[in-house]
Amino acid sequence: MMPNRLSLLLSISLVGGAMLLGAGAAAGATDAQSAFADLDPVAKGRAIAEEADRRDAGFVDSEATLTMTLHNAHGETSTRTLRNRTLEQENDGDKSLVIFDHPRDVKGTAFLTFSHVDGDDDQWLYLPALRRVKRISSSNKSGPFMGSEFAYEDISSQEVEEYTYRYLREEEVDGQRTWVVERVPVHPKSGYTRQEVFYDQAEFRVLRTVYYDRKDDLLKTLDQTEFAQYLDRYWRPLRMTMVNHQTGKSTELQWSDFTFRNGYTDGDFDRASLARAR
Amino acid sequence: MGRAAVAAAIVALLVSWSAAGAGAEEAAVWQEWSGFVGAELRGFASSGRFDGQDDDVTGSVVLEPEYFREWNDGRARLVVRPFLRLDTADDARSHVDVRALYWQRVADRYELDVGVRKVFWGVTESVHLVDIVNQTDAVEDPDGEDKLGQPMIRLGLSRSWGLLEVFLLPGFRERTFADREGRLRAPLPVDDDRARYASSAEDTHVDVALRYTHVVGDVDLGLSYFRGTSREPRLLPALRADVPTLVPFYTQIDQLGLDLQGTYGAWLLKLEAIARWSAAVDAQRPGFGDYLAAVGGFEYTFFDLGGRGLDVGLLLEYQWDERRARATTAAQDDLFVASRLALNDVQSTELLIGAAVDLGSGAAFVNVEGSRRIGDRYALDVRLRAFTGVPADDPLAAFRDDDYLQLTLKRYF
């Protein structure tokens, strides 16, 4: 019996959840801004998160390659590469398939995730050494993904319902005006008491997220940059940098080779396709 | 290697057909090499119990490269994975195998494999009752998880009602056995050149199997049926040039299998059960009759303990075999208890510590497995196996003096 090589998994696609936003264009943004003005902080925070979520709907499916670079406090680095395929679902969370290419000892390891709006996600792991498909628990929220500074809950598909919201203030990030919304995870196993999410006011993209640990101490900051737009609508940050303020470690994600509307079907996201994933 | 040549010829034919179909579009073809090479050292705690087992420290090297090629955006694929081990002490453990050599056709809801490959069936950790398609490569590891490549034609249909797989298995693979000089063997050497079969077709009997799997909410369900040559031989005493040896005897069986896993939060509840029966002529012989066996239990994981990323899993499985003392395996009234630790660090350090204890005799098989990546391309694997309190009539009795520690360094490419 082999220990689980990587115990749980993710669906990297909607990293940061509401960070991927749409084009709805300036007129929509202006309407939204004036509509938000009269709301109380709780309603305004949720309205911003919902608008960001709405703008990402309809991408149908996507594929991308991810290079993950881990930096420790001594300046040493370690790299992982993986590929992610996502299929949007009509009335539920997305289906996703993640396949590892590097390091080579985990090459071919793959995860299939059916994320759900209500209840736990369904996850299967493929172990190439044993040619074995295993159903695994999806209840690991706060643990680190592949030794990185990203926790499973940071990279899994995120739904608006998974947090409660409160609008805090306006602030500039790299010269862009943002709304800062505090969100509190609903799940009891979350590693965070709260997060501060910085949405840019033009496109509702998440430029920054600040994480506070269970003791409410500052833990991590995620910065998302190099935004690229696909299908004239969907924004994806090609670079994400997560810095852990308590350990001095950091992890960089570099996304590449995004393709959308590849014609995937549910048959590309079942246990048979997991077992032959390359 | 006659059969391997036939398999290779068939796969080559299918491959050339796929290649022709792909036409001049080079972009539609994709290929890659991967695999590993490893060096292994085993140290045994005691001297060998039987004649010929002279070495207390053995070394070996292992090579398992893989070539993968696909055409037409993955709709046709080729997988080739040879295997080689060279061992300093055991000539039988020095062996080659074709772990995989198959052509695969993938379409929207079905897949067809032709060639040699490995499949895995089941859910439990301590024994794999349901998993019957591939023969055990027993010289690799006493845990029985290493398998020989099996020639097959496999058709898989994926539908809303589940996944149905149909297997046609031409060509039987004999189990591997340690040589006279090898450790972890039966008291007498096994003369596998003289294997005997219940079927007059011997090792050319064509076996068939069916497997149905489905996911219903939190439950993963598997049902399977196998008809053909048993993968598990009886070892019969024989003489060769007046020297006592053992000869493997492979009977014909039918086996029905059930595997179930319920996944509830951090709990995994697991069950595997089989019913096996044999043709009437075999039923007269002890151990060949009809029987039921099952293994079931749970795995519970504490994730991210203390916010430090440490996962600690607890596993408990009960192994049952209706034949009890007459069972041909050690797993007949045994409790398996284990803990799985995952540090979730940069090196993916993991450790499994477990033991299967016979509730009748108290005999225990202790198993420790650890692994850690070194740099980007290397991984170190440590295994410790001990057989404690094993009485003389136990199936594990021959291994009583074979407690060992094994270090393996692998380089992946």
SS3 string of chain B?
Answer: CHHHHHHHHHHHHHHHHHHHHHCCCHHHCEEEEEEEEEEEEEEECCCCCCCCCCCCEEEEEEEEEEEEEEEHHHCEEEEEEEEEEEECCCCCCCEEEEEEEEEEEEECCEEEEEEEECCCCCCCCCCCCCCCCCCECCCCCCCCCCECCEEEEEEEEEECCEEEEEEEEECCCCCCCCCCCCCCCCCCCECHHHCEECCCCHHHCEEEEEEEEEEECCEEEEEEEEEEECCCCEEEEEEECCEEEEEEEECEEEEEEEEEEEEECCEEEEEEEEEEEECHHHHCCCCCCCEEEEEEEEEEEEEEECCCCEEEEEEEEEEEECCHHHCCCCCCEEEEEEEEEECCCCCCCEEEEEEEEECCCCCEEEEEEEEEEECCCEEEEEEEEEEECCCCCCCCHHHCCCCEEEEEEEEEC
Tell me the average pLDDT of chain A. 87
The more confident residue out of B74 and A195 is A195
Q: How confident is the model at residue B394 (pLDDT cuts 50, 70, 90)?
A: confident
- The pTM is what? 0.91
Q: Which residues, at least 6 apart from B180, have a Cβ–Cβ distance to it below 8 Å?
A: B51, B52, B53, B189
Count of A–B CB contacts within 8 Å? 138
- Put simply, the answer to whether A276 touches B352 (Cβ < 8 Å) is no
Whether the pLDDT of residue B125 is over 50: the answer is yes
B251 to chain A, closest Cα gap in Å:
27
**Mean pLDDT to the nearest integer, B235-247:** 90
Contacts of A106 in chain B (CB under 8 A): 348
**Mean pLDDT to the nearest integer, B84-107:** 96
Of all residues in chain A, the one with the smallest CA distance to B266 is A137
Whether the pLDDT of residue A78 is over 90: the answer is yes
Chain-centroid distance, C-alpha A212: 17
Sheet of B234-240, strand order: B196-197, B243-250, B234-240
3-state secondary structure of A67: strand
The complex's ipTM?
A: 0.93
Write the DSSP symbol of residue A151. B
- Put simply, the answer to whether A132 touches B261 (Cβ < 8 Å) is no
pLDDT tens per residue across span A90-114: 888 899 999 999 999 999 999 999 9
Lowest-pLDDT choice from A57-61, B23-27, B145-149: B23-27
- Put simply, the answer to whether B263 touches A137 (Cβ < 8 Å) is yes
Please tell me the predicted confidence (pLDDT) of residue A11: 40
Contacts of B311 in chain A (CB under 8 A): 7, 140, 143
Q: How confident is the model at residue A2 (pLDDT cuts 50, 70, 90)?
A: very low
Please tell me the predicted confidence (pLDDT) of residue B24: 53
Please tell me the predicted confidence (pLDDT) of residue A6: 36
Q: How confident is the model at residue A120 (pLDDT cuts 50, 70, 90)?
A: confident
**Mean pLDDT to the nearest integer, B95-112:** 94
Please tell me the predicted confidence (pLDDT) of residue A91: 82
Q: Which amino acid, one-letter code, is at A53?
A: D
Contacts of B74 in chain A (CB under 8 A): 278
* Residue A113: C-alpha distances to residues A152, A223, B110 (Å): 12, 26, 21
**Mean pLDDT to the nearest integer, B264-283:** 86
Structure tokens, A239? 């670079």
Comparing C-alpha atoms, which of A130, A277, A55, A215 is closest to residue B99?
Answer: A130
Mutate to test the interface with B, among A6, A7, A146 (most CBs of B within 10 A): A7
Of all residues in chain B, the one with the smallest CA distance to A7 is B342
Please tell me the predicted confidence (pLDDT) of residue A23: 37
- Put simply, the answer to whether B301 touches A137 (Cβ < 8 Å) is yes
- Put simply, the answer to whether B346 touches A137 (Cβ < 8 Å) is no
Per the CB < 8 A criterion, the answer to whether A155 and A146 are in contact is no
Contacts of B305 in chain A (CB under 8 A): none
Residues in chain A: 278
Please tell me the predicted confidence (pLDDT) of residue B79: 96
Contacts of B345 in chain A (CB under 8 A): 147
Contacts of B413 in chain A (CB under 8 A): 104
Q: How confident is the model at residue A157 (pLDDT cuts 50, 70, 90)?
A: confident
Q: Is B155 within 8 Å of chain A by CB?
A: no
Q: How confident is the model at residue B308 (pLDDT cuts 50, 70, 90)?
A: confident
* Residue A208: C-alpha distances to residues A14, A177, A218, A220, A229 (Å): 15, 12, 14, 11, 18
Contacts of A85 in chain B (CB under 8 A): none
Whether the pLDDT of residue B332 is over 70: the answer is yes
Please tell me the predicted confidence (pLDDT) of residue B329: 81
Could you say which residues from 15 to 44 on chain B have a Cβ atom under 8 Å away from some Cβ of chain A? 34, 36
Q: Is B104 within 8 Å of chain A by CB?
A: yes
Comparing C-alpha atoms, which of A203, A12, A18, A15 is closest to residue A111?
Answer: A12
Please tell me the predicted confidence (pLDDT) of residue A165: 97
Please tell me the predicted confidence (pLDDT) of residue B109: 86
Comparing C-alpha atoms, which of A112, A91, A110, A89 is closest to residue A100?
Answer: A110
pLDDT tens per residue across span A180-234: 999 999 988 899 999 999 999 999 999 999 999 999 999 999 999 999 999 999 9
Give the whole-number percent of chain B exceeding pLDDT 90: 77
Whether the pLDDT of residue A39 is over 90: the answer is no
Per the CB < 8 A criterion, the answer to whether B98 and B71 are in contact is no
Pairing of strands A206-212, B267-278: unpaired
* Nearest CB neighbour to A147, from listed B70, B263, B344: B344
Please tell me the predicted confidence (pLDDT) of residue A21: 37
Q: How far apart (Å, rounded) are the C-alpha atoms in residues A193 and B166? A: 51
